[in-house]
Amino acid sequence: MIRTLWVYLNLLIATGLIAGTVVLAALLRVRGRVYDWAARSWSKWMLWASGSPVHVIGLDNVRRDRPQIFVSNHQSWFDIFALAAVIPKRYRFIAKKELGRIPIFGAAWKAAGHIEVNRQDRGSAIQSLEAAGRLIREDKSSVVIFPEGTRSPTGRLLPFKKGAFMLALHTGVDIVPVAVSGTRAILRKRDWRIRRGTITVRFGPAIPTAGYTEANREELIALVRGRIEAMLHQAPEARRAS
């Protein structure tokens, strides 16, 4: 209970200070790395407060010189903290529109350039993905997408939605499969209690989209899903040895 209260206290403080800085920077039309700094600092703060170190494997699969689409499993809110803390290049999360309604955080999230998707409006969702495609081509940044669309309550992979793969096909950008493990033990879906834990983030080799079209999109989805599932099932001993 003490750890949970401590983490939520830090969440309030960190969000107020860092999100407030981002909103102010946006109002003043400040450009530069302040927005990337904000996401990483906020995430590292929360990982520190919860006592949750992150081990990263396969970081050489992350290319700083070209855009990539990081497609990750989703078990906990701590997946976001872990990925935001360790991806060593400019990135944008693509997430549901409802996050933008959270006081202070929502305004900062949008000001920092992260992309909201209205899952209830197909046309709007397509426009959001097209905007994401333009952005990553312009500044060689990357996007992070959770294709399950929600947190898995059991830890098992849910069916993948097609948005991430349509984005990859339309832009020709490589997909990097990502497996995040250990976060569900820290904070499960529909739970509010926070426990100490160790997180592992594994980046798999990039999967080129050349040769794939909408006609064989399901093959690409199955390939990416299979890579993520395989990484999630790797033994802890293999992780330590990597």
pLDDT score at 240 = 43
User: In terms of Cα–Cα distance, which of 73, 60, 68, 82 is closest to 233?
Assistant: 73
| Count of domains forming the chain | 1
pLDDT score at 182 = 93
pLDDT score at 238 = 44
Residue by residue, pLDDT tens for the chain (242 residues) are 888 999 999 999 988 888 888 877 777 777 767 778 888 999 999 999 999 999 999 999 999 888 899 999 999 999 999 999 999 988 888 877 666 667 667 667 666 667 777 666 566 666 777 777 777 777 777 899 999 988 998 889 999 988 889 888 888 889 999 999 999 999 998 888 999 999 999 999 999 988 888 889 999 999 999 999 999 988 554 444 33
Distance (Å, rounded) from C-alpha 72 to C-alpha 87?
A: 12
Distance (Å, rounded) from C-alpha 74 to C-alpha 178?
A: 10
Domain CATH code at residue 102: 3.40.1130.10
Range of the domain at 202: 2-241
- pTM score above 0.85: yes
CB atoms under 10 Å from CB of 64, counted, come to 11
pLDDT score at 239 = 46
User: In terms of Cα–Cα distance, which of 220, 210, 201 is closest to 144?
Assistant: 201
Distance (Å, rounded) from C-alpha 27 to C-alpha 46?
A: 26
Distance (Å, rounded) from C-alpha 52 to C-alpha 183?
A: 9
